[in-house]
Amino acid sequence: MYEYQARLMNVVDGDTFDVTVDLGFRIHREIRLRLGGIDTHETHGVPKDSEEYQKGMEEKQFVETWFENVGPDEQEWPFVIRTEKTGKFGRYIAEVERKADGGILNDDLVTEFGDEIRYPE
């Protein structure tokens, strides 16, 4: 398992987002991550009036808010990314920790939305 410091660039949906990771020695790389063990509802390619889309947007909003809560001492690298492999679409499968409080996004999503969004790895 590899561990990197990171900062958020963009939330794509409830389980996919773009980050800049600090590789050390002032080397940074932008990558797309997918949350390990999580499969949120789709927001792309589904009708906007569907239940799938509405649930997906709720999950995406939760993730955006989770990332915004970095604490009073905003750090340049407020998150820790743990990853070891890529998935079938080339995204790194990751666990995300918020340094401010030790919160784990993967776990917090399941706490908020239930086992319905769990995805077997």
Assigned domain for 121 exists: no
Q: What CATH number should be reported for the domain holding residue 53? A: 2.40.50.90
Domain assignment of residue 119, yes or no: no
Q: What percent of the chain has pLDDT over 90?
A: 90
Q: Is residue 27 part of a domain?
A: yes
Per-residue pLDDT of 53-99, as tens digits, reads 999 999 999 999 999 998 766 689 999 999 999 999 999 999 999 99
Domain span holding position 72: 2-112
Q: What is the pLDDT of residue 75?
A: 82
pLDDT of residue 93: 97
Number of domains present in the structure of the chain: 1
Residues 6+ apart with CB under 8 A from 103: 66, 97
How far, in Å, CA of 57 to CA of 52, rounded?
Answer: 9
Instruction: Give domain status of residue 17, yes or no.
Output: yes
Residue 37 lies in a domain: yes
What percent of the chain has pLDDT above 70? Answer: 97
- For residue 71, the model assigns a pLDDT of 74
